Structure 1
Amino acid sequence: MGPVFWFILIALCIYTVIPTLLVRLLGWGVYRRGEMRRTAYLTFDDGPDPEYTPKLLDLLRQYGVKATFFVLGAKAQEHPELIRRMRGEGHLIGIHNYSHWANALMSPGKVRRQIAAAARVIEEITGERPVYYRPPWGIINLFDFGLLREFRMVLWSLIPGDWRSRGGKARIQRRLESRFRDGAVIVLHDSGQTLGADEDAPQYMLQALEEFIGGMRERQYTFLRVDELNREKGKPSGLAWYRRLPVALWLKWEAVYHALFALEPVDPDNRLLYYRVCTYHGRSILLPDGEEIRKGDRVIELHFNNEMIFHIAGGTRSMMQLAVQLIRAVQELLPKMAERLMSDAVTRDIKGIYGITMINRGPKQFGFTVTDLPKGLFYIVSKLYLRLLLLVIHPQGKQRLEVKKELLTPKVLAISAKELQRRYSASPEYITVSE
């Protein structure tokens, strides 16, 4: 590969790759997520579309939901009546360029002309100049940071891939429900006419969206427009820039891990604890009630949602304070776990529940047995992993690793399924455990 290739590659990284990573991973200058509990932000790109946008507006009106539309100026010019209807029904209108071109493929001047043309069209139709902007595909160039003086750039925290028809309604709905977190900015598409999209994809999006809105309403969630986002811009308050990258990368890894092992929340309304049903492979654990978890038993493996822990840790001053808050939160979740054991056919025959953590002060009062993780390769890997996690999520970072090092060792927490139900289930019936 000659010098010309390397020059082009370096120029491309400087012009678009690095800036896009900065906003996508670190959230520099953009809105990606809200902080309020029981809220969600529905946003729609690529419209207005004469076939699907009216159906979407009907659906939103039916449920009394307000949303944000990032429209293409060319399409808005063709269908001004839809733009007027959006505004008349209380939705927020933002810009998604005049045409659906990636900013990486345009010069800075052309990007500005695209945005100015789209803004002018919207202002002529509504009488109000839009101030919210979402670049197509979430890709920007180096000079787009200058747009922040005039526009508020909005990305997303949940994208279910609804531009594809494959998998239909079920795939979109599954992704919406499994990936949702409080304050999520959700991006959907009310047009299938852009590059890479399937023309009939919006019909499946509408079907999934109706189910999703209905379910979220039952859980007492509120849908807001993006102009009601808090001003934190989706990034941890007070976190130094040099710590945002490892935090962002770690949380991305967490999302991949959850997907790989199909982890599910114990309580969809409080996603602090996740679990999976698996076969136990560790050393036998003798429990106080006489039960014993042995190799080959079916068990529930618990996992903390480290993204939530990170946000909780940001508001605490010490590891003890963090542990107290987590213990209280887990206490609220244990009845949900007991209820799930009884109601789910997949979990009714499990022998016990276990997890590995360094936050191990307090679980005994809830019936958990705390034992040392046997020394060996798994112990070493777990210790390194948990210390790295603590380094990333704890507000004191490296300083915390230097305090009371002897306490920073992984422990195994375990409780039998019978004991969990005895303590926390409203039903007197015990779980039948297969031997």
Structure 2
Amino acid sequence: MKTCFLSIWRVVDPIYFFFSRLSLIDNDQKSVFRVRLTKYKGHHVVLSDGTHIRKNDVLVKIHLHNIKLIRELQSIESAVRKGIIIYQKVYQSMPLLLDYINNHKKSEKIKGIIGITMLDKGVERLGFDVITPVNPFYRCFKKVSHVPILYLTSKPVSLRHLPNSSYLFISKEKLQKTYQKKD
């Protein structure tokens, strides 16, 4: 069943990619991120470095390239090992994300990065701030929307015990301080 679902997802993913206006951040496709610019619509947030994120601030919304990750992790049984590999791939993608932002035509307007995920363990070490979405309907929607990913990547999970989703934020300045190449 999972194999069938994965095959369908492989067909649907390019369509989703097109209609969601996502972009790749590197031509070599080494990154696990696909991104798009967005205007923030949530509540005012103050990040750990003091950056204020307000309604209509321009952010780069990051999406993990789930189908790519699932393919690469398919043969790995250990959830811990999968987590380590995802962490490493995200870490390796962060400088590419910084390059993407620095070279973007709207670079000056971009205030930071936002993502939403259930994979928020250890992301602080990558520089992210973890924020729980305030809106209960949005939290519920995101929980449900992550069910297919959970189905493909983990052991059976009870619908009652779905992990919560969290926003991940990092300011552009913190991203630069943390991931700027030192020549």
On whether the aligned pair clears a TM of 0.5, the verdict is yes
Question: Which residue identity lines up with residue 323 of structure 1 in the other structure?
Answer: G
Deviation string 1:285-338 (CA, Å, 9 cap, x unpaired) is: 210111011111000000011111211331222332211101101111111111
Unmatched tracts of structure 2, length 5 or more: none
Question: Which residue identity lines up with residue 146 of structure 2 in the other structure?
Answer: L
Partner of 2:179: 424
Any idea what SS the aligned residue of 2:115 has?
strand
Does the aligned pair in 2 maintain the 1:277–1:299 contact within 8 Å?
yes
Does the aligned pair in 2 maintain the 1:312–1:322 contact within 8 Å?
no
Aligned counterpart for 1:309 among listed residues 69, 77, 92: 69
**CA distance, structure 2, for counterparts of residue 285 and residue 317 of structure 1:** 37
Per the TM alignment, residue 283 of structure 1 is displaced from its structure 2 partner at its CA by 2.0
**CA distance, structure 2, for counterparts of residue 384 and residue 290 of structure 1:** 32
Does the aligned pair in 2 maintain the 1:265–1:272 contact within 8 Å?
no
Partner of 2:116: 356
Any idea what SS the aligned residue of 1:268 has?
coil
Please provide the CA RMSD for this pair: 2.2
Partner of 2:164: 409
Per the TM alignment, residue 388 of structure 1 is displaced from its structure 2 partner at its CA by 2.4
Deviation string 1:164-198 (CA, Å, 9 cap, x unpaired) is: xxxxxxxxxxxxxxxxxxxxxxxxxxxxxxxxxxx
**CA distance, structure 2, for counterparts of residue 348 and residue 307 of structure 1:** 32
Partner of 2:4: 245
Deviation string 1:360-416 (CA, Å, 9 cap, x unpaired) is: 11110111001112242211111011122210x21x442xx14x936x111111000
Q: How does 1:183-262 map to 2 (within 5 A)?
A: 242-262=1-21
Aligned counterpart for 1:274 among listed residues 31, 34, 38: 34
**CA distance, structure 2, for counterparts of residue 314 and residue 341 of structure 1:** 31
Question: Which residue identity lines up with residue 134 of structure 2 in the other structure?
Answer: P
How many percent of aligned residue pairs carry the same amino acid?
Answer: 22
**CA distance, structure 1, for counterparts of residue 47 and residue 38 of structure 2:** 19
Q: How does 1:379-398 map to 2 (within 5 A)?
A: 379-391=139-151, 393-394=152-153, 396-398=154-156
Does the aligned pair in 2 maintain the 1:266–1:333 contact within 8 Å?
no
Deviation string 1:105-151 (CA, Å, 9 cap, x unpaired) is: xxxxxxxxxxxxxxxxxxxxxxxxxxxxxxxxxxxxxxxxxxxxxxx
Partner of 1:264: 23
Deviation string 1:69-89 (CA, Å, 9 cap, x unpaired) is: xxxxxxxxxxxxxxxxxxxxx
Q: TM-score, normalised by structure 2?
A: 0.89
Partner of 2:128: 368
Any idea what SS the aligned residue of 1:337 has?
helix
Q: TM-score, normalised by structure 1?
A: 0.39
**CA distance, structure 1, for counterparts of residue 75 and residue 3 of structure 2:** 16
**CA distance, structure 1, for counterparts of residue 113 and residue 47 of structure 2:** 11
Q: How does 1:168-187 map to 2 (within 5 A)?
A: none
Unmatched tracts of structure 1, length 5 or more: 1-241, 429-435
Question: Which residue identity lines up with residue 353 of structure 1 in the other structure?
Answer: I
Any idea what SS the aligned residue of 2:110 has?
coil
Q: Which has the higher contact order (CA 8 A, sep 6+)?
A: 2
Aligned counterpart for 2:91 among listed residues 331, 342, 348: 331
Per the TM alignment, residue 427 of structure 1 is displaced from its structure 2 partner at its CA by 7.2
Q: Cα 1:347–1:328, aligned 2, differ >3 Å: closer, same or farther?
A: same
